Structure 1
Amino acid sequence: MNFYQSLGFLVFGSRLKRLSDTFLQDVNKVYKAHKIAFDASWFPVFYILSRKKEVSIREIADELGITHSAASQVVTGLQEKGLVKMAVSRKDARAKAISFTAKGEKLQQKIEPVWQALQQAMEQLACEGNKSKQVLQGLTEMETHLQEQSLFSRIETVLASQQA
């Protein structure tokens, strides 16, 4: 058992971060190996656009559960790369709509097979262990419970009960 495993939930966030960093590095290696100019951090916005074709920054932020500012930063970065464009929305003239440029559409078509391979590889990985199959369900449950009561609130409750 390594250091992180021995500390259990005390380092849960650190382990998730390490796992996420490893995951994203490997996915970026795949893009690089296949000469695809794409960064894994763009995936959420690219995926949304690949399915909806046109969205507002507010829709992106709401869908991803991030701030409007964070969504705007990602979109601005993609705009600077020439992958997305912003125009007046067809649905609401007061809003800006984000959509792929021709370059963005071409890139999206190149990365779609990588996404499919990633999905298959992750499903294979999940099947390699009895509990691995339950990871996504467990994460979903934790996310739901944290929406009901934050970790901060939970820690404060424990500390208050220890002082009583």
Structure 2
Amino acid sequence: MSGTSEARQGGGRDRDTAGRARNARPRDGLGRPLPYGADGVERQPEGVVRGPEETVAEAQTLLEAGKPFHAHEVFEDAWKSGPEDERALWRGLAQLAVGLTHAARGNTTGGARLLRRGAGAVEEWASETGRGRPYGMDLAELSAWARELAGVVEREGKAISATGRAPRLRGRVD
């Protein structure tokens, strides 16, 4: 949470110490808000500048833990703080993670749409840059994973397990 403490201000909106609106409600592993006072999972800090290798490693750990919403936040930080020529890559990866989030929450239409949009974005970035394996990630395999999962989500029409469907960012482990 950006290293700031958050509080409800006089029954109004939650605000951080700088006065910016920030929802302080606890969240579940898929980023859904829980009632105040409920036990939630630790939130992913926002605005953290990481190197690309650290971004990929942290996002993979979160994906494997069934926290694609949190992985999306890690990718979003990279997209906002990284070099201009890589922003489309990180944005596409964030779309893949949030697509998995929606599919796990049961939003099959939005989940499938975001999975396909993210797949298209990383494919386009790889095509434009000629880089199909940036930071060890196999973008062709990630795109295939996303498109396949989008089809499964649409066919099944129900929430899926985020943990059981997490991608391997750096390819399959045999």
Q: If you compute each CA radius of gyration, which structure gives the higher value, 1 or 2?
A: 1
Which protein, 1 or 2, shows the higher relative CO under an 8 Å CA cutoff with sep ≥ 6? 2
Give the TM-score of the pair, scaled to structure 1: 0.28
Bigger fraction of residues in helix: 1
